[in-house]
Structure 1
Amino acid sequence: MTEGSLDAPVRHPLAWDDPDFTDPDKIDAELRRVFDICHGCRRCFNLCDSFPRLFDLIDESESGELDSVESKDFKPVVDACTLCDLCFMTKCPYVPPHEFDLDFPHLMLRYRYAEFKKQGAAFADRQLTETDRNGRLAGMMPGLANWANREGNSLTRPLLEKTLDVHHEAALPKFHGRTFKARAAAAPPQVNREAPAFGRKAVLYATCFANYNNPSIGTATQAVLARNGVETRVEYPRCCGMPHLEQGDIERVAEHAREVSRALVPLVDEGYHIVALVPSCALMLKFEWPLILPEDENIKKLSAATRDVTEYVVEIAKNEGLADGLKPLDGKVALHLACHARAQNMGAKAAEMLRLIPDAKLDVIERCSGHGGSWGVKKEFFDIALKVGKPVARQAKKAEPTYLSSECPLAGMHIVQGMERLGDGPAPVQESRHPIELFAMAYGLA
């Protein structure tokens, strides 16, 4: 038996419509097979809270082995998985095509899907995952919504904790009255026809976060691409479904995938690339959707045409060359590489992109922030999320950066909050910016 493989990792399609996929006995057998291998390896002990929970569960059992652990005790291990994919992509030597055929995150997803099919999602989870509805409603009265969500609001945050299980101290994203899509329609940028990349066309898939919570990610992307001669249009049929995937609602994800792909594939046929503004969404379009709907030709075509925003800028730089005008930033950047960017298996594109800025000073952080989407704001997991992200916060604070940047906006907020709680002085920065926002600043476009 050999450890690891010389072949590139591969992932199997999710057979979620096969009755065996939700068979409790088959799931339990697979959990025991995988957990026993993980117990003997333990390479992932410091990635997230799932593995310490698993190893403690086994070590504290009667025999010190998996055979004396009851199956009902597996649930906390599953609940602690944030589906960051780092174990599969960066640590596990036994992923397929190795004969052990381990895919820990997708096994956790299988367990959650079976659980979801049996009992549905909890009320709080159902509300938190309705990102489009929440964004539209909050956008009607953003001042009130942001006041209610504000940390330290002693009137509303305890109520939010009681009704939606959101920890009263967790930092929450702001909402805007004008979506990115509305802003782009009102003031489209002038395309630089003299740029080397003139002739490229890109659809910016707005994503729920950039559309409702941080439109500046979108406006910065549009400005940078226009400077580089790229014609852009903004589309947002609906959310990619990542929040539903986290809850195990694979059927809902498939519904989103079909609708979004039907809307975007005609534009792919017209020669547009699809550029996703947040790495979780790029990961869904490029990798998760094809594994959920492997026979859907629209999904295949959309996957091949999709780029992460930093990946797309680097692609332009390597193929046509960038437009002139980049100037040095006024200080150092602590750059966090988001888990869902790393899971795209494209390399550290955010770091590559920022190094295109003259005299760039980067301190790159390659570790999970601990946030994990809605997982990290929940009452049950908030303190654990801060603990998992503490090494990232410590490294970011030690760098004493002028700017903190993360491809994942939620991770960036979480890192700032982690720095504030280290207890050795104030955080050097009070907010995180997406790398494309810094790139726009270097072009003088922000």
Structure 2
Amino acid sequence: MATGYKEGSLDAPTRHALPWREESWYDEAALDAELRRVFDICHGCRRCFNLCDSFPKLFDMIDESPNEEVEDLSAGQIKQVVDACTLCDMCFMVKCPYVPPHEFNLDFPHLMLRYRAVEHRKGETSKADRLLAETDRNGKLGSVLSDVANWATDGKSETTRGIMQQMLGIDKRAHLPKFADIPLTNRAVALVPAPNPDAPGFGRRVALYASCYDQFNDQTPGEAAVKVLAHNGVEVRIEHPECCAMPKLENGDIPAVASAAARVAAHFAPLIDQGYDVVAITASCALMMKFEWPLIEPDNEDIRKLSAATHDISEYIVKLSKQAGLTPVEAMDASIGVHFACHSRAQNMGPKAMEMLKLIPEAKPVLTERCSGHGGKWGIYQQNFDTAVKLARPAVRSLEKTAPDYMVSECPLAGSHLKQVMEQGGAAKLPERIGHPVELMAKAYGL
């Protein structure tokens, strides 16, 4: 480790643009050297020991090595650390004291991303990862064949789930989302009400970005968001030009992410020029549009414009309440367990779901900041599922501790995973649903 360094930094963290078009970024010897440099610093610090499975694996392997040094690690052991990372960004955002502008210049998640980009370029991304990352294609097919698809993916369908486990490595115990019969945007004409002209938000316009999950799977958060915004006078339109490409980012397929970012940003550019704010229903999408895309394509003007115009749905409702006010919200005397999803935390905006739910009179939201363990598609794989359950248990214990009347999470995959872990643990009080916080806002409005 360097000498003469300062312990941590008081400066605001910054992130470098990803030099993914430069050949040097894919140099495997340089990558190995950088991995070992960063791992050595992590080994000497260990603040991240309880965040995810990457760090315990790393520290245990170093401790068990002949000389207890990073240099003892084999290439296979390094890959285990990378494969355990879910790109949640929590180490960068909440734990690491050595992120830029500190001289150590650590960005652990983007280093893991670089490793995967090298793997992807070499054609080493698994068939299952490539297949699952085609979310729009899968969603369109699943919606057209929803009856068959939902039967095949149901946990009770032992034969089909057994085949999926054998062929794709998807654990037959893992909860898989059901497909909606009709995509959300196809329901927009019937779904979107006229804005309330007497409400304080009248005159504002929102292009509601539906993730692939909102579009093809669970449409409840999207419906709730539309109703809450329109009730407060906001003109709403639902947009799904295509997936934000987070699953492809997890694969290291950065050219595909850059291509999707350019197309989505070009789609929203004229709407932004017409005065629309862009509001993402799903936290992962907001994170991609606000932060990841500008680091991948820093010179794209449409992407910069979209980043500046994008809000998370909870963030937007809180902003609306502060700037214009909200229509009166009915009291809800209820305790609410709020899971603070990693991709909400990574947006560096604070716990906006908590702020939003505090707008409901008599509501008592309580925050849980522990990881759900799901990690996008990571947690459904057979080699990861038991670890995903283990990582979720502290969050489950925290949510159950207050015996809340409702439980919510801004991550839809986290919500369903947490509920499944509760079921497995024999929870005395199992929530009917762990949905998005905006659903409780809609409930408080009687919508």
**Normalising TM by the smaller chain, what interval?**
over 0.9
Pairing partner for 1:437 from 412, 436, 439? 439
What residue in structure 2 maps to residue 232 of structure 1?
A: 236
Pairing partner for 2:269 from 265, 290, 312? 265
How many angstroms apart in 2 are the aligned matches of 1:161 and 1:278? 28
What residue in structure 2 maps to residue 26 of structure 1?
A: 30
What residue in structure 1 maps to residue 140 of structure 2?
A: 136
Q: Which deviates more, 332-341 or 144-153?
A: 144-153
CA contact (8 A) 2:191 2:223 kept: no
How many angstroms apart in 1 are the aligned matches of 2:333 and 2:215? 28
Q: Within 5 A, what are the aligned runs for 1:28-427?
A: 28-324=32-328, 326-329=329-332, 331-423=334-426, 425-427=427-429
How many angstroms apart in 2 are the aligned matches of 1:293 and 1:225? 31
Q: Which deviates more, 64-73 or 84-93?
A: 64-73
Per-residue deviation, 1:103:
0.3
SS in 1 for 2:122: helix
Letter in 1 for 2:211: T
Per-residue deviation, 1:297:
0.6
Letter in 2 for 1:413: S
SS in 2 for 1:119: coil
SS in 2 for 1:45: coil
Q: Deviations over 1:121-166 (max 9, x none)?
A: 2111111111101111110121221111111221211011112211
CA contact (8 A) 2:333 2:362 kept: no
Q: Deviations over 1:185-237 (max 9, x none)?
A: 23320211111111111100111011111111111111000011110111111
Change (3 A) 1:154 1:71: closer
Q: Deviations over 1:349-400 (max 9, x none)?
A: 0110001001011121011111000000011101011111110011122222
Q: Which deviates more, 71-80 or 304-313?
A: 71-80
How many angstroms apart in 1 are the aligned matches of 2:300 and 2:157? 47
Q: Deviations over 1:398-435 (max 9, x none)?
A: 22222110000000011111112234x44521421100
How many angstroms apart in 2 are the aligned matches of 1:35 and 1:149? 39
CA contact (8 A) 1:370 1:385 kept: yes
Q: Which deviates more, 155-164 or 260-269?
A: 155-164
How many angstroms apart in 1 are the aligned matches of 2:428 and 2:377? 26
How many angstroms apart in 2 are the aligned matches of 1:17 and 1:418? 41
Letter in 1 for 2:157: N
How many angstroms apart in 2 are the aligned matches of 1:72 and 1:142? 40
CA contact (8 A) 1:184 1:219 kept: no
Letter in 2 for 1:385: A
How many angstroms apart in 2 are the aligned matches of 1:101 and 1:150? 45
SS in 1 for 2:6: coil
SS in 2 for 1:364: strand
Scaled by the length of structure 1, the TM-score of the pair is 0.97
Q: Percent identity?
A: 54
Per-residue deviation, 1:120:
4.1
How many angstroms apart in 2 are the aligned matches of 1:252 and 1:408? 23
Per-residue deviation, 1:72:
3.2
Per-residue deviation, 1:97:
0.7
How many angstroms apart in 2 are the aligned matches of 1:169 and 1:33? 38
How many angstroms apart in 1 are the aligned matches of 2:266 and 2:249? 20
Letter in 1 for 2:272: V
Q: Which deviates more, 38-47 or 392-401?
A: 392-401
How many angstroms apart in 2 are the aligned matches of 1:108 and 1:268? 34
CA contact (8 A) 1:396 1:419 kept: no
User: What value does the CA root-mean-square deviation take over the aligned residues?
Assistant: 1.1
What residue in structure 2 maps to residue 7 of structure 1?
A: 11
How many angstroms apart in 1 are the aligned matches of 2:432 and 2:250? 28
SS in 1 for 2:172: coil
Per-residue deviation, 1:27:
0.3
Q: Which deviates more, 151-160 or 265-274?
A: 151-160
SS in 2 for 1:316: helix
Q: Deviations over 1:63-86 (max 9, x none)?
A: 011122223320000000000000
How many angstroms apart in 1 are the aligned matches of 2:411 and 2:165? 24
SS in 2 for 1:3: coil
Letter in 1 for 2:121: K
Q: Structure 1 residue runs of 4+, over 4 Å off?
A: none
How many pairs align?
443
Q: Which runs of 5+ in 1 are unaligned?
A: none
Letter in 2 for 1:289: W
How many angstroms apart in 2 are the aligned matches of 1:132 and 1:159? 23
SS in 2 for 1:6: coil
Q: Deviations over 1:53-108 (max 9, x none)?
A: 10011001000111222233200000000000000000000000111110000000
Per-residue deviation, 1:184:
1.3
Q: Deviations over 1:305-324 (max 9, x none)?
A: 00000000000001111112
How many angstroms apart in 2 are the aligned matches of 1:252 and 1:64? 39
